[in-house]
Structure 1
Amino acid sequence: MSAVDWVTARRLAYEAGRAAAGPAEVVRLDAADGRTLAEPLLALTDLPAFPTSSIDGWAVRGPAPWRPTGRVLAGHTPEALTEPGTCVEIATGAMVPAGAEALIRVEESTQDAEGRVSGTPRPAPEWRLPGEEATKGEELIPAGTAIDPAVIGVAATCGYESLTVSARARAALRIFGDELLTSGPPGDGRVRDSLGPQMPAWLRRCGAEITSAQVAGPVEDTLEAHLAAIRAAFETADLVCTTGGTMHGPVDHLHPALAELNAEYVVNTVGVRPGFPMLLARAQGADGRDRFLAGLPGNPQSAVIALVTLVQPLLDGLAGRPEPTLPVVVTTAPVKGRGNDTHLALARLDACGRSATPVGHVGSAMLRGLANAHGFLLVDPGTEAAAGDLLPFLPLPLQAGERR
């Protein structure tokens, strides 16, 4: 089977996720951070719902001087001002009384010996009018938006107690390769497993739910062990990520296992370097719903490239998030092409996020370059990039607001 080009592979993964998205669920506001809106957020009332003072001062009616008749604090409904020449003291955020014609800032007012207030209103009104921010029923935030504290704040302002969110995909991880060490330094022909410790965190940053109980391995290098590991993961997970065994070597049992499971390939190998031997397959679970398996290469950087190529768009689709548009940055140094394949070159952004510098130590088995990078510069097949060229930039899936 020929390799799928990188752009097509991401689109196929996203579309597979959209087609298999599960039912929405309702969560309280305090549990909504990091989830995705399944429905548009609508204004339940006009915002503000009533005329609101934006200053501390006086609400006045008629010409000066004004005789104070009371005080209006936030959270109270004031009596109307009905007599010319009267006023009430008013606090920021308080409801403006009916009949008020202007607001005077306290620092721009004076009071005479009898307590009467004088001052000149500013030309622009000093209160917020009902519906100034939004009108009842208006769409404030579209479906597919990732929920962050600001979205939660808007929802609370409107009066929401809970939000309808997309289902969060449950993920599992299976580490293939019984030659791997799970503790201590590498040696005697064996290397330390670095994907088991890091992949759960990457999956969470992509929006999946995964716990330590859903991580297992190294799995014995037999077809029977691979099948058992995958079947057990499919019992509780919507997405199973495996590491290693994506080629067709003597101890690579992933493809035969997929055949035994009657799985179909969504993508089988991608024209990208590093990371070429990656795959995404779909199988039916016992409940009749689709399950996905993402086969990540065993080399660490290649595995992360497979994650951002196939797993991240799949999870975006499952969550109902829109396909992201990649930003464009200036590369500060030349970046070589990789023949007929897309080249994902690790790079670090400048402080403004407008230019990126390729980093060193970027072999497919290396992690040092990844730890010093913010993402990948994209060099199209059959091309090379010179310093100063504009290139698409694929960010690593970091937590909201996080910047290394």
Structure 2
Amino acid sequence: MTSLQQARAVAYEIGCRRIGAPQTVPLSGALGYTLAAAATAQATVPTTDTSAMDGWVVSGPGPWRLDGTVTMGALPGPPLAPGRARTVTTGGAVPPGAAAVLRAEHGDLHGDRLLGLAGRPASPGSDIRRAGEEIRVGDLLAPAGTPVTPPVAAAAAVAGLDELTVYPAPRAALVLLGDEVIDSGVPAPGQVRDAFAIALPAILATQGVSITDITRVQDDRDAVRAALTRNDVDVIITTGGTGHGRCDHLVPAVGETGGVIRVRGVDIRPGHPTVLAQLGHVPVIGLPGNPFAAVAALLTIGSPLIAGLIGQPSPSLQRRVSGQDFSGVTRGTRLVAVREVAGELFAVERQGAAMITGLIDADALAVIEPSGALAGQSVQAIPMPWIH
């Protein structure tokens, strides 16, 4: 049985081997992807000295005579002589010779004569944004491996970039195994409703994965083998069939298609029948058939593989504070659905491997070592990806 730490390392290594070829896309199309190359500034920001406030650019001590207006969007105007002032709005280019910006609320204009209010001096350099104080040409905006968030795209735009080089979204095939699974209506005794076709694509979308198709496969080895025989996707994700029973065909089907099992079984509860495999260059994540166990395995083991696929660092487990005592398990790692209350983690009510309803109230997945954890202690946790 592979430890959780080892399984996460193997998963990340498998994902990195299948990383897609970088693509250069417009800024508007880069959001949600991951930088394949560093974004560096092509422009200085601000491009010239600019006013940080509405008011007047002034030269020398007051009072001043008004000699015009700074035009927004225009180059810096002619030099400003001592004793002179020009009306300026926020962002306007400061002309040579200007010593400061006098804020509109700090000045009193009488005709063309400007006086500073008592106690409100325009000290040298005040309210002027100097050229390049935010960014200079060649500055690093974001390194490769950075997710393209709205702030990254906005910074790229103001720094003169029109395009970014990113890794493409991984394409995933979802293969749902099991004779007992139905996709509509009330299940009869011995049947279960499919929870995966609805939940897994949504969870994977939060991680930047695009589902190309969903295939339902009966508990038949030939059918499972046929569903795995493809190389038109970046990852195959299966549910069910990962155990050692007579109806569990995933592992033998991988072998019969020339694949390699990298991990069979992980020391986590729930989720221990998780499988990691490679079919040529295509990774396979074999999730358990029980819904909570499958989600737990996807978050703990599937996430590092996906991070590798999109060029991101392997995600670290976060540190949180336990609000209660958590018992460990005899061996391996216990995964507990928890809710955060006042900065502390508490177990939700329903915790069984098959109990998907417990996740309704969960904010995170607590990772409890065999020794357990006492209230007030630091524990590792993985936030639920649907919680914002």
TM-score range, shorter chain: over 0.9
Task: Give the conservation status (yes or no) of the 8 Å contact 1:181–1:190.
Answer: yes
> How many Å apart are 1:333 and its aligned residue?
1.4
User: Which amino acid letter does the alignment assign opposite residue 262 of structure 2?
Assistant: V
Deviations 1:41-78 (A, max 9, x none): 21212221211100111112233222222111321113
Deviations 1:138-182 (A, max 9, x none): 112222111111111111111221211112210010110122111
Q: Distance in 2 between matches of 1:282 and 1:225?
A: 18
- Paired residue for 2:115? 118
Q: Distance in 2 between matches of 1:235 and 1:141?
A: 33
In structure 2, the residue corresponding to 1:21 is in which secondary structure? coil
1:358 aligns with 2:347: yes
> How many Å apart are 1:188 and its aligned residue?
2.6
Task: Give the conservation status (yes or no) of the 8 Å contact 1:345–1:378.
Answer: yes
Structure 2 unmatched runs, 5+:
none
- Paired residue for 1:187? 188
Task: Give the conservation status (yes or no) of the 8 Å contact 2:303–2:315.
Answer: no
1:271 aligns with 2:267: yes
Between 63-72 and 168-177, report the one with greater CA deviation.
63-72
1:370 aligns with 2:362: no
In structure 2, the residue corresponding to 1:270 is in which secondary structure? coil
In structure 2, the residue corresponding to 1:229 is in which secondary structure? helix
Deviations 1:306-344 (A, max 9, x none): 211221100101111112222211111111111111111
Deviations 1:68-91 (A, max 9, x none): 221113211132224322221111
Taking only aligned residues, the RMSD between alpha carbons, in angstroms, comes to 1.5
Structure 1 unmatched runs, 5+:
285-289
- Paired residue for 2:131? 130
Deviations 1:378-402 (A, max 9, x none): 1113x1212222111111223xxx4
Task: Give the conservation status (yes or no) of the 8 Å contact 2:101–2:125.
Answer: no
Q: Which one of 223, 226, 236 corresponds to residue 225 of structure 1?
A: 223
- Paired residue for 1:36? 34
Q: Distance in 2 between matches of 1:325 and 1:50?
A: 41
Q: Distance in 2 between matches of 1:389 and 1:310?
A: 24
In structure 2, the residue corresponding to 1:210 is in which secondary structure? strand
Q: Distance in 2 between matches of 1:140 and 1:240?
A: 34
- Paired residue for 2:384? 396
> How many Å apart are 1:123 and its aligned residue?
5.7
5 Å matches for 1:335-354? 335-350=326-341, 354=343
Task: Give the conservation status (yes or no) of the 8 Å contact 1:103–1:126.
Answer: yes
Q: Distance in 2 between matches of 1:307 and 1:291?
A: 17
In structure 1, the residue corresponding to 2:181 is in which secondary structure? coil
The count of residues paired between Structure 1 and Structure 2 equals: 384
In structure 2, the residue corresponding to 1:96 is in which secondary structure? coil
Task: Give the conservation status (yes or no) of the 8 Å contact 1:28–1:163.
Answer: yes
User: Which amino acid letter does the alignment assign opposite residue 215 of structure 2?
Assistant: A
> How many Å apart are 1:350 and its aligned residue?
2.5
- Paired residue for 1:96? 94
User: Which amino acid letter does the alignment assign opposite residue 269 of structure 1?
Assistant: G
- Paired residue for 1:216? 215
- Paired residue for 1:282? 278
- Paired residue for 2:258? 262
- Paired residue for 2:144? 143
- Paired residue for 1:304? 295
- Paired residue for 1:287? none
User: Which amino acid letter does the alignment assign opposite residue 132 of structure 1?
Assistant: E
User: Which amino acid letter does the alignment assign opposite residue 300 of structure 1?
Assistant: P
User: Which amino acid letter does the alignment assign opposite residue 118 of structure 1?
Assistant: L
Give the TM-score of the pair, scaled to structure 2. Answer: 0.95
Q: Which one of 366, 369, 377 corresponds to residue 380 of structure 1?
A: 369
> How many Å apart are 1:124 and its aligned residue?
5.3
- Paired residue for 1:17? 15
1:241 aligns with 2:240: no
User: Which amino acid letter does the alignment assign opposite residue 372 of structure 1?
Assistant: D
- Paired residue for 2:156? 155
User: Which amino acid letter does the alignment assign opposite residue 392 of structure 1?
Assistant: Q
Moved over 4 A (4+): none
Q: Distance in 1 between matches of 2:99 and 2:300?
A: 61
- Paired residue for 1:175? 176
Q: Distance in 2 between matches of 1:344 and 1:156?
A: 42
Give the TM-score of the pair, scaled to structure 1. Answer: 0.91
Deviations 1:103-134 (A, max 9, x none): 1111111123x421122314652111112112
Q: Percent identity?
A: 39
Q: Distance in 1 between matches of 2:26 and 2:43?
A: 20
User: Which amino acid letter does the alignment assign opposite residue 306 of structure 1?
Assistant: A
Q: Distance in 1 between matches of 2:243 and 2:168?
A: 33
Q: Distance in 2 between matches of 1:205 and 1:126?
A: 42
Deviations 1:246-294 (A, max 9, x none): 012122111111011111122211000000001111122xxxxx10111
Task: Give the conservation status (yes or no) of the 8 Å contact 2:348–2:358.
Answer: yes
1:74 aligns with 2:65: no
